[in-house]
Structure formats: structure tokens, C-alpha cells
Structure 1
Amino acid sequence: MPPMAECPVGGPASPSPPPEPPSEVARTVALERADPLSVLNQAFRDAYAARREAVLSRMGPVIAQIDDVLILRKGGQRFEAPARTRRYHEYKAVTHVPLALHVLLASQQDALDDDTRTRLTTLRGLITASATSLDTRGLPAEALSRQHRMLGASLALVDSVLAANSVTRTQLSTFIHAQVPDLLKNAEDSARDQIDTMHASVEAWKRQMTAEERGQLRAVVAASHMSRPGNVAAQYFSITLGDTWEGRFHEEDPQPGKRVLSSEATFDEPAAFSLLATHVLDARTSRGIFGEETRMARDLLADAAERILADMFHTSPQPPGTSTP
């Protein structure tokens, strides 16, 4: 499958919103813009940014997964290919219905409040319209039956709750637990859609690369922090690029040799690619200054903060997974 589109490096990106004006407290803390130290610090930032761009321009091919799209930068060119198909979103949308009903109704006590009743009435119309559209989507027979089953059960719950103007814990628990097998099957089908689509796109690109370029290939995954452990794209790239595969337990790993990174809470293309360049530049800088490649992967103040807090609170940090709830 050939790349879907090609455009110059640094292609279109959503404009950043204007910065919020500083608060009164912030103004009292920050250095004035004309302060010589502020000017000096900005010069450092400019120099760092210039060096980071130079590092990025000299890197081998890099791929970013940003929502539904894969973006490849290679040899001064930019290519796009799909990371998912529309079916991924169809399964996802249906899966969200019983989850939304559980979230909406879990805190209800006695009679429904006006806001909840209004939302349920709106959802009823949306569920009905969506169920009617299912047969036109070309879904496999088993998947089609599953979507009808989930929306039908959701509609039955909404009708029952609206008629009674209330919901019981038992009623809601019975409903959502009955949906779990179908929810998980939809999740599996969504994951398969993304993996198959990404693999076809990446393999098509790799076939156009030299052996040296394939060996240099890196990837960055745009993901919110809450969804990062086990992220589908991060797992896929870890395997195909030869990184350590940690499956659903995967968390960000600051190893300088790592070829797959996560760009937290951003779907901005320049920021995602800048993360890769920052990772490489910080490893080189950290090795030259501190003799430790991962030192700048954590806050420069981190080690001092740990010592200060240990002394202040007469305790010590616990390794991950050992703290008591």
C-alpha cells in the first residue's frame, strides 16, 4: 500500500491558542523581560531549540502516530498513511454507549434529576438513529449482531429508567456486567484494526528504505498520559523496531537507546517530532556533562528534591509497586 500523501517537511499543523495572561502572583515571581538574566536565559532557550532542530534534520527516518494518521519524515520529505480505518471509530462509538450510561447513572439516587433525564432523552434519540444506521456499514455478521445487541440493551435500559424515573444499583450493575464480553470483543476488534492498518502502512514505507534507514528508524506516539500504559501504537512500534516489548504494562522508559517514545497529552506534530530530537540531544548532553546518559531524562532538581524531602519528612522514596494503599 503506497503512502497516502506527501508534502514538505513541516506540513500544516493546528495553530496554538494564544497564551493565557500571567496572573498577579506569576508577575511577582517571574523575571522582567528586560532583566539581563531573563535575556540570557532566552538566549539559552534559543540556542537549545536551534540545536534540537539541527539534530532532528540529521536523524534517520522518523514516524509519528498522531490519532488516525502516521507521519513519516525521511530525507527532507513528509509522507502520511492511515493508522486506523473508519471501522475502529464505529466500534469505539458503540462501546462508549453502555460506558456513558453507567457513568451517567452510577451516582443517581431516588428520582432522576432534571439534567440526567434530559441527557437520557437525548441519548435515546441518538441510540435509535445509530442502531438504524448499523446495517448500512458493511460490518461482518458477528460484529453487526454485537453492535445491535449492545445498542438494544442500552436502549432498553434507557426506556426502563425513564419510565420509572429512577434506577437501582442492581439494575445498573446487571446491565453493565452483561455488556462486558461485548465491550471487550469490540476493544479487540478495534485493536486489530489499528495494528493491521499500521503494519500495512509501516511495512510499505520500510520496503522503500535502505537497510541503513530501517536500522535508524525511530517512532513517537502521541498519547494522553492516562492512555499510555499498553498503548496500541507503542506496543506495535516496540516490536517492529526491536525495542523491549512490555505489552499492556508498558510505561515511558527514558533509556537513551530507546527507539519508541510517547509524546504525552499532545496531538501536535511539531511537538511530537521535537520530542525525538530532545531525547537524542539530552542523552548526548547528559553524557558529556554528568557522565550519565539518563540524567536529563528526569528533572534536574529531582535528586536534590529527593534528599531534601527525605530529610524534611524523615522518610525515603519507595520503588514502584511497593507502596501501601
Structure 2
Amino acid sequence: MFTQLSAVLLVNLFFQAHNLFADTQKRNDPVNDLNKSFRSHYAKTRASILQNSGPVIIVRGDNMILINGERRIEGKLIDPTYHDLKAVAHAPLALYSLLIRNKTPILSDDIISELEKLAIVFERSYSAFDSRLNSKEVEKKQRDILSSCIDFTSVTLKTKKFDYSNLIKFMRSLLNPIQENLELAAKYRINNYRDQIFEWRTELNGKQWEQVVFLIPGSPMARKDNLAVQFCAKLVGEKSEGARIVYAESLFGENEAMLRLATHLFDTKIGEDIFSDPWRMHRDALGPSTARYLDVISLTPNYDH
């Protein structure tokens, strides 16, 4: 009997055969071979340029890595206080993220269950800030934020009601203490970075330091005003990302990030040598042509024809 499964199998076999035919055509296509030749030579030269480039410092969150020729030196880990401060700053946001999933004035059973679990996390975190940090004053501020979260959670569980306006009011009441945490977290991280860089300056001579490129893996949303980018820019006298500061967006593996750097270095050289513009290859090659063509065509349908 011809079943739905049989139909699916036939469709899969058809597409496999089609893809095999297309691959065979590509293998026999001289123009496709031309493009493959370009990609092969590009990849080999890109690897060569990276191998012969100057020192690289990878700034990847908790630590730095200095790569200088055959040497690879892991920096010291960031002070854990940085993470503690950010974790507490995230506590009210955890509450907010949970409660806005509730779509009615009465809390659902699922939300109540999750809120009870979150309440335990708040309580345990509050107790942890007894002798966790070097500063008693900073510890008290962490307990104050967590205490507010505990109180709000307790009232919400007791009433089993959800009021969106009250949640927003609660969140905004904590903006100042949250911002204080972020200010202090930034200070901790920057001081750690600075101390590591000062130590490595003794590893590099003047010429090597002038050649150092900073490679910064990071997420898309954290790219604008990124802490590491700002730090490195001040360090080398740049405005932001550029010749010596490369942001490897969404490339958190070291090998992937280094490949992004290699592409950056080679594309910069192509731009300088061929276009007299080091940044030409960092833009879409079709960008200017696209803009000119879009200026002369209409994208409004003509329904008269």
C-alpha cells in the first residue's frame, strides 16, 4: 500500500537525485572551477598572512590570550566579583521575564510553580552575600536588591495575582541600584584588563606593541558600546573598531575568531593594494552598484499593465 511514509521517501529520493545531478554539473562546469580556484587561493593566502602577522591579543570575556609567533599565553581570569555583580543586577530581570509570560490577572499554575523556584534562588543568593565580597558595603547593596526581589515575589505568590503596572513600577524602582552594580562591574573588568595588559607590555618590544591587533569575540547585541572595544580603543588611541581592533561577532571559538581576523587582515590588504581604500572589502562589493541601480528603478507595482 502506498503510504504517507512512502511519499516522503520518494520525495527525499527525488531531491537526492536532483542534488547529485546538480553537483555533477558543477564539477563539470569550468566557470564553477574558476570560482573554486579563487576561493582556494584566497584561503591559502589568508592563512599565510595570519601566520606572518604581528602579535594578537584575544579579549574574550573572562580573560585575555596573547599570541605572539609560536607563543600562546593565557592571561589571568577575571575577578569573580564582576560576575556576582552582574548576576544580582539580573535578578529583577529574571522576575520580570517570568511574570510577563502570564497573560491574565490571575497567575497560572505553571507561573506559580516557576515563581516558587525563583523565590528559593533569591533566598539562597541573599544568604550567599555574607562574606562573599571584599566590601561589606557592596555586599549590603546586593542583599538590598535581592531583598526587594524576595519581597515582591512573596506578595505575588500570596495574592496569586499579576498586575503589569505594579511589575513595571517595581522594576523601575531598582534602576539606580542596578546601575550602581553595572558601574562597579565595569570597573572590575576594566581594571583586570588593564593589569593584564601592563604585565604583557614587558613581553613585547616597542615595534611589536605597535603591531598588536586586538581580537574581540562577542555577541551581536553587545557590539555597540562594547566594553572590550572601548577599552582597547583607549589603549591604542583609536575611536572604535578598525585596523587594530577586530570584533568577531558570534564567533566565540578561538579558531573561528582567528579565521575572522585573517579575513580582516587579507581584505584590508586587498583594499589598500587594489582600491586604494583599506575598508573597501569590508563593505558589500555590490553596495555602490546596488545604491545606483535602486536610484533609477521603481519598486512600486504598476497595476495598469
1:121 CA drift (Å): 1.3
Matched, 1:293 2:288: no
Which residue of structure 2 lines up, in the alignment, with residue 123 of structure 1? 118
Which residue of structure 2 lines up, in the alignment, with residue 75 of structure 1? 69
Q: 1:313 to 1:296 in 2, by over 3 A?
A: same
1:35 CA drift (Å): 4.2
1:90 CA drift (Å): 0.8
Which residue of structure 1 lines up, in the alignment, with residue 230 of structure 2? 235
TM-score (normalizing by structure 1): 0.79
Instruction: Give matches, 1:176-195, under 5 Å.
Output: 176-195=171-190
User: Within 2, Cα distance between the matches of 1:188 and 1:60?
Assistant: 34
Which residue of structure 2 lines up, in the alignment, with residue 133 of structure 1? 128
Q: 1:283 to 1:148 in 2, by over 3 A?
A: same
Percent identity over paired residues: 28
Give the 3-state SS of the residue equivalent to 2:225 in structure 1. coil
**Mapped contact 1:53–1:277 kept (Cα < 8 A):** yes
Which residue of structure 2 lines up, in the alignment, with residue 34 of structure 1? 27
User: Within 2, Cα distance between the matches of 1:83 and 1:233?
Assistant: 15
Give the 3-state SS of the residue equivalent to 1:73 in structure 2. strand
- Larger-gyration structure (1/2): 2
Q: 1:88 to 1:31 in 2, by over 3 A?
A: farther
User: Within 1, Cα distance between the matches of 2:81 and 2:28?
Assistant: 55
Matched, 1:264 2:259: no
1:178 CA drift (Å): 1.5
Give the 3-state SS of the residue equivalent to 2:278 in structure 1. coil
Which residue of structure 2 lines up, in the alignment, with residue 11 of structure 1? none
**Mapped contact 1:97–1:151 kept (Cα < 8 A):** yes
**Mapped contact 1:67–1:267 kept (Cα < 8 A):** no
Partner letter of residue 279 of structure 2? T
Question: Which runs of 5 or more structure 2 residues have no equivalent in the other structure?
Answer: 1-14, 301-305
Q: 1:160 to 1:240 in 2, by over 3 A?
A: same
Instruction: Give matches, 1:28-107, under 5 Å.
Output: 32=23, 34-36=27-29, 37-82=31-76, 84-106=78-100
Which digits, 9 at most, give the CA deviation of each residue in 1:279-314, with x for residues without a partner?
221121123333332211111122222233333447
Q: 1:83 to 1:47 in 2, by over 3 A?
A: farther
Q: 1:117 to 1:38 in 2, by over 3 A?
A: farther
**Mapped contact 2:81–2:133 kept (Cα < 8 A):** no
Which residue of structure 1 lines up, in the alignment, with residue 168 of structure 2? 173
Matched, 1:112 2:107: yes
Which digits, 9 at most, give the CA deviation of each residue in 1:21-59, with x for residues without a partner?
xxx69x86x962634344443332222122111111111
Structure with the higher helix share, 1 or 2:
2
Which residue of structure 2 lines up, in the alignment, with residue 14 of structure 1? none
User: Within 1, Cα distance between the matches of 2:52 and 2:298?
Assistant: 47
Of 205-214 and 305-314, deviating more is 305-314
User: Within 2, Cα distance between the matches of 1:174 and 1:44?
Assistant: 59
User: Within 2, Cα distance between the matches of 1:83 and 1:214?
Assistant: 22
Which residue of structure 2 lines up, in the alignment, with residue 207 of structure 1? 202
Q: 1:190 to 1:52 in 2, by over 3 A?
A: same
Partner letter of residue 281 of structure 1? F
Which digits, 9 at most, give the CA deviation of each residue in 1:76-135, with x for residues without a partner?
111111362211111111111101212222353311123322221111111111111111
Q: 1:121 to 1:44 in 2, by over 3 A?
A: same
